[in-house]
Amino acid sequence: MSENSFKEKIKREDFYYIEDTLVFQWGFEKISPKEIQKEIENLKSPRSTKGREVGFRYTVNGLEVVVWTTWLLKENKARESDSGWVIIRDAIRKNILYSSHPLHRTKNFAKNLLSQAWIAQWRIQHRPHCPECGKFMVIARGKGMKSRYWKCSNYRDHKTGKSVCRDWDFNLSPKAKAYLRRLRKKRRKYRDKRKKELKPNYVALKKRKKWEQKK
């Protein structure tokens, strides 16, 4: 992925399209500047950033999807160099449970961002219940870089006496599963190509420093 993909300009109409789709069609709400400031004050930034980025959230079933757009509220323009993100976090503790791959600012940025937001929203709307005890299952980390699955560790209330796991795509719609199959196939081909060229994979994800909770 070229450096230029991080710097491609987002047109205002693209941002308004993202905002209209998330808020007026899908029921997201814009995160207020005060809320963003409060979160920043409770976190240690991994890098120097300027401006307050516009974000949207959707909360249900104890989980929250947050969409970061790279669009700066006060400046009314996109950040000079950045990627979009879609995350799923605990609605109360705010700890991040899943984050998308960085969404580069290519010509399809708006479409890609909305696709990831739609799938993340579907996941939490259809958060699975444990078939053994009936409690909500939680998001657990798998072995891969971005691997996740649903898990219930409430084994004392399970007849089997064991934890119960579900595939990460459990309960997704056929349309969402088809989209993810195409996307994963494309990423797999890209990783295989880099491997043959003796180039490392997940470079951006490994280098990117995370926001940390202040002590």
Q: How confident is the model over 4-54, as pLDDT tens digits?
A: 444 456 788 999 999 999 999 999 999 998 888 777 665 554 445 567 889
DSSP letter for each residue of 181-208: HHHHHHHHHHHHHHHHTT--SSHHHHHP
Assess if residue 211 is contained within a domain.
no
Assess if residue 14 is contained within a domain.
yes
Instruction: Say if residues 54 and 30 touch (Cβ distance below 8 Å).
Output: yes
Assess if residue 202 is contained within a domain.
no
pLDDT in tens, 161-173: 999 999 999 999 9
Q: What is the pLDDT of residue 5?
A: 44
- What type of residue sits at position 96? I
Q: What is the pLDDT of residue 158?
A: 96
How many Å apart are CA 108 and CA 90, to the nearest integer?
29
Binned at pLDDT 50, 70 and 90, residue 86 comes out as very high
Q: What is the pLDDT of residue 12?
A: 86
pLDDT in tens, 93-150: 999 999 998 898 888 999 999 999 999 999 999 999 999 999 999 999 998 778 999 9
Instruction: Say if residues 15 and 71 touch (Cβ distance below 8 Å).
Output: yes
Report the number of distinct structural domains present in the chain.
1
Mean pLDDT of all residues belonging to the chain: 85
Assess if residue 61 is contained within a domain.
yes
User: Is 215's pLDDT higher than 60?
Assistant: no
What's the domain range around 116? 4-127
User: Is 205's pLDDT higher than 60?
Assistant: no
Q: What is the pLDDT of residue 9?
A: 60
Which pTM does this prediction carry?
Answer: 0.83
Q: What is the pLDDT of residue 101?
A: 87
Mention every residue, 6+ apart, whose C-beta is less than 8 A from residue 82.
6, 53, 70, 105
Assess if residue 137 is contained within a domain.
no
Report the sign of the C-alpha dihedral through residues 33, 34, 39, 41, in that order. positive
Assess if residue 215 is contained within a domain.
no
Binned at pLDDT 50, 70 and 90, residue 1 comes out as very low
Assess if residue 66 is contained within a domain.
yes
How many Å apart are CA 88 and CA 96, to the nearest integer?
6
Segment 62-82 shows an average pLDDT of: 89
Q: What is the pLDDT of residue 135?
A: 97
Assess if residue 169 is contained within a domain.
no
